């Protein structure tokens, strides 16, 4: 089974002269699995926190979803913001039934989140793409600058 992403799944060394990279990690599929999931694919993700590259096995092609149907999720990071509790106090509608007050608060929380934190998932995606690009450049020709950028 093929893959997308970096060629090597393991590396060690902090300088260009000591850098060693190998393709140690793989997915193997037998015929039965290939027949059951013909659209299966593997992506080598950017590595961080380990000397091994994470491998992502997708059994089905990516499907688009309706963002308006996505359930509301409380973000723990909101609790770290100094204005969060005051925001809740100001925006909770005490004179409404709880379900209506929650719906109104949800919309205001989502707007507040965009203003205070931005799109953290998009930021994470961009950082991982930048890390992946740096790791690909290191594989082509490691330099001290690239290795330092990867460590950042």
Q: Model confidence over 39-53: pLDDT tens digits?
A: 899 999 988 888 898
The predicted structure's pLDDT at residue 124: 86
Q: Which residues of 47-72 are buried (b: 16+ CB within 10 A; e: fewer)?
A: beeeeebeeeeeeeeeeeeeeeeeee
Residue 65 pLDDT grade (very low, low, confident, very high; cuts 50, 70, 90):
low
Closest of 119, 102, 112 to residue 78, by C-alpha: 112
Domain ranges of the chain: 4-65+119-151, 76-116
* pLDDT tens by residue, 6-25: 888 888 887 778 888 889 88
Contact at 8 Å (CB) between 6 and 135? yes
């Amino acid at each position: 089974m093929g893959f997308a992403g970096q060629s090597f799944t393991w590396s060690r060394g902090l300088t260009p002269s000591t850098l060693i990279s190998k393709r140690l990690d793989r997915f193997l599929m037998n015929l039965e699995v290939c027949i059951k999931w013909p659209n299966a694919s593997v992506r080598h993700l950017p590595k961080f926190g380990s000397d091994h590259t994470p491998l992502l096995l997708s059994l089905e092609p990516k499907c688009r979803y309706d963002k308006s149907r996505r359930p509301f999720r409380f973000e723990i990071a909101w609790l770290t913001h100094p204005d969060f509790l005051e925001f809740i106090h100001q925006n909770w509608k005490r004179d409404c039934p709880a379900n209506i007050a929650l719906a109104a608060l949800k919309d205001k929380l989502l707007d507040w989140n965009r203003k205070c934190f931005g799109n953290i998932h998009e930021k994470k995606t961009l950082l991982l793409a930048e890390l992946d690009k740096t790791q690909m450049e290191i594989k082509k020709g490691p330099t001290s600058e690239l290795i330092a950028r990867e460590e950042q």
